[in-house]
Amino acid sequence: MAERADDRLLRLLGIVAYLDGAGPVSVADLARRFGTTPAQIQKDVDALWVSGTPGYWPDDLIDFDAASIDRGVVHLTEARGMTRPLRLGTREAVALVAALRAMKATDAVKADPARSAVVESALRKLTDATGEAASAVDVRLAPGGDRQVVSAISSALAARHRLRIRYVTSSDVVSERDVDPVRLHTQDEFAYLAAWCYRAEAPRTFRVDRILEATETDIPVRSHPGEPSEIDFGALFAGGSSPLATIRFAPRARWFAEETPVESVRNLPDGDFEVTLRVTNPGWLRSSLIRLAPYVRSVSPRALADDVAGAAAQALAVYGAGAGSWDADRVTAADAATSPNPH
pLDDT single digits (tens) 301-324: 888 888 888 887 887 777 665 444
The confidence score (pLDDT) of residue 227 equals: 44
Alpha carbons within 13 A on the beta-carbon side of 224:
17
Residue 262 CB contacts under 8 Å (≥ 6 apart), including other chains? 275, 276, 277
- Per-residue confidence (pLDDT) for residue 82, from 0 to 100: 62
CATH 2.30.30 maps onto the chain at: 147-231
The segment(s) of the chain belonging to CATH 1.10.10.10 are 5-78
Strands (E) across 159-257 are located at 161-168, 174-187, 190-197, 202-207, 211-220, 244-249
Strand partners, 244: 278
At 144-154, the pLDDT tens digits run: 667 788 888 88
Kindly state the average pLDDT of the residues 239-251. Answer: 77
Report pTM: 0.44
What CATH number does the domain located at 5-78 have?
Answer: 1.10.10.10
The SS3 assignment for 337 reads helix
- Looking at domain 147-231, which CATH architecture does it have? Roll (2.30)
